[in-house]
Amino acid sequence: MSSHFRSKILLLGLLTLPFTAGSAAFAHGSHGSGGEALEAGEFDFTPIITIEGHGGFDTNLEGDPRHYAIDGMFGGVFEWGLGNGGSFVIEAAVGPALVWGEAEHFYGKAHVDDHGDHDDHEDHGHDDHDHEDHHEDHGDHDDHEDHEDHEDHEDHEDHEDHGHDDHDDHDHEDHDDHDHDDHGHHDHAHGHDTDFKRTDIKGFIQARYAPNDRLSLSLSWNPYYVTQDQGEDIQGLKNELGAKVKWALGDGDLNFALGDGIEDLVNGVYLSVDHRQGWESDGMYVGNYTDPRVGLGFTFGDDEISLMIEAGPRFYVPGSYSGLSQRTDLAGEIALSVPVGDATLFLHWQQTYSWDDAPGWGEGWQHHLGTGVSFSF
């Protein structure tokens, strides 16, 4: 508990530092001052500070690994008016990220077995061993550090979190039914915990061109620096590059409080295509995905409370390290923002579902939840 308290004090101290950078709120729909569109030739700069707490929940992996973070992001929005409702915007942010569990990672990262010359962990699966041969084959495992002493799993550290705590109670009939594919499938679940780890540094920069008030094109870079080797995290710079096109079908001003009805839903509908690629801090290429989505945006009342809902397929291509094939997942997001004076409270929930059940990956849901406040000046 004391480390948690010290971490929060550290974050508050960093928030008082007089340096300017970017804000995670940009990713949640902040557009500079958030006021009227600039006229052609006009320029506006808006400093922004954002505090966000968020967590990732990988329920499709064995052990349900999860990680949490508190980000303090400092930045600004540079905006130039182009006329006809258009603009060119550069958004930038940087700040500390207090990490519990493990660092943020690019979507789809497979937890592959890297036990050296143990080529295929699930091939050691006991599917190939019948009950009678199991004891004889223990000798073959004597030189395998991770499988030493299968009869007594009390010393088998890598299996303690795989639900083998009760393995002492298993007779070998049960062991025959124990599908060791799960071991290859989620072999890193044992290393997950939610203790406070360290303070990393993350950033965000995006250039967005909108020729009018309905179409926008953007390029983004999300660097993330892991400050020390810890668990599966390797010290170094993670990188994520993105490109996105968004087109609003209507005027984007669906507000039931102003008399809009269900027949006006098209005013809040938009289409988007988002492509992203990710690299780990050791330079390993994690993969890429493309998200074509249909979204619907609502605005409520004079306070301009905003709700956004979007969903679509995710075409994922994993890196060669994983040995996995490309697949199609389902992805979506729900985001809510509430202006309060010069601040904006926000909440977002990203969810993905994968039907693929493979080594290092699993069928099921992954969730990312975040909430925080953004201050503009």
**Cβ atoms of residues 186 and 111 within 8 Å:** yes
Q: What is the DSSP letter of 325?
A: P
What average pLDDT does range 359-369 have in this prediction?
94
pLDDT of 123 over the 80 cut: no
Supply the pLDDT for residue 266: 58
Helix (H) or strand (E) holding 174, with range, is helix 172-177
- Residues 305 and 11: their CA atoms lie apart, in Å, by 28
Q: Strands 343-354, 327-340: parallel, antiparallel or unpaired by DSSP? A: antiparallel
Supply the pLDDT for residue 185: 41
Supply the pLDDT for residue 298: 82
Tokens 């505090």 belong to which residue? Answer: 51
**Minimum mean pLDDT range among 98-112, 121-135, 184-198, 320-334:** 121-135
**Cβ atoms of residues 290 and 312 within 8 Å:** no
Tokens 């050691």 belong to which residue? Answer: 124
pLDDT of 83 over the 50 cut: yes
Structure tokens given for 368: 């990312």
Band (259; pLDDT cuts 50, 70, 90):
low
Supply the pLDDT for residue 301: 72
Band (268; pLDDT cuts 50, 70, 90):
confident
**Minimum mean pLDDT range among 85-94, 104-113, 137-146:** 137-146
pLDDT of 53 over the 90 cut: yes
Supply the pLDDT for residue 35: 58
Structure tokens given for 116: 């050296």
What average pLDDT does range 84-99 have in this prediction?
96
Supply the pLDDT for residue 164: 43
Supply the pLDDT for residue 193: 80
Band (24; pLDDT cuts 50, 70, 90):
very low
What would the DSSP string read from start to end of 112-169? ----TT---GGGGSTTS--HHHHTGGGGGGTT-GGGS-SS-GGG-GGGGGGTGGGGGG
Q: Strand, coil or helix: what is 71? A: strand
Structure tokens given for 321: 């390290």
Band (256; pLDDT cuts 50, 70, 90):
low
Smallest CA-to-CA distance from 333 within 29, 22, 23, 24 is with: 29
Structure tokens given for 175: 């062991």
**Cβ atoms of residues 347 and 332 within 8 Å:** no
Supply the pLDDT for residue 26: 46
Residue type at 283 in one-letter notation: G
- Residues 124 and 280: their CA atoms lie apart, in Å, by 28
Supply the pLDDT for residue 230: 92
- Residues 360 and 322: their CA atoms lie apart, in Å, by 8
Instruction: Give the chain's domains with CATH numbers.
Output: 2-111+191-376 (2.40.160.40), 121-185 (no CATH)
Phi, psi of 162 (to 5 degrees): -95, 20
Structure tokens given for 37: 């569109």
Residue type at 327 in one-letter notation: R
**Cβ atoms of residues 108 and 286 within 8 Å:** yes
pTM, two decimal places? 0.71
Supply the pLDDT for residue 292: 98
What would the DSSP string read from start to end of 21-44? ---GGGGGT--TT-SSPPPTT-EE
Supply the pLDDT for residue 194: 85
Band (114; pLDDT cuts 50, 70, 90):
low
Residue type at 260 in one-letter notation: D
Q: Would you mind telling me the total number of residues written for the chain in this entry?
A: 377
Supply the pLDDT for residue 260: 58
Mean pLDDT, the chain, rounded, equals 77
**Residues near 285 by beta carbon (within 8 Å), at least 6 away in sequence:** 277, 278, 279, 319, 320, 321
pLDDT of 41 over the 70 cut: yes
Q: Strand, coil or helix: what is 182? A: helix
308/128: higher pLDDT: 308
pLDDT of 201 over the 60 cut: yes
Per-residue pLDDT tens digits for 159-196: 444 444 444 444 444 444 444 444 434 344 445 688 99
- Residues 101 and 112: their CA atoms lie apart, in Å, by 19
Band (111; pLDDT cuts 50, 70, 90):
confident
Alpha carbon distances (Å) from 5 to 1, 9, 57, 101, 331: 6, 6, 23, 16, 35
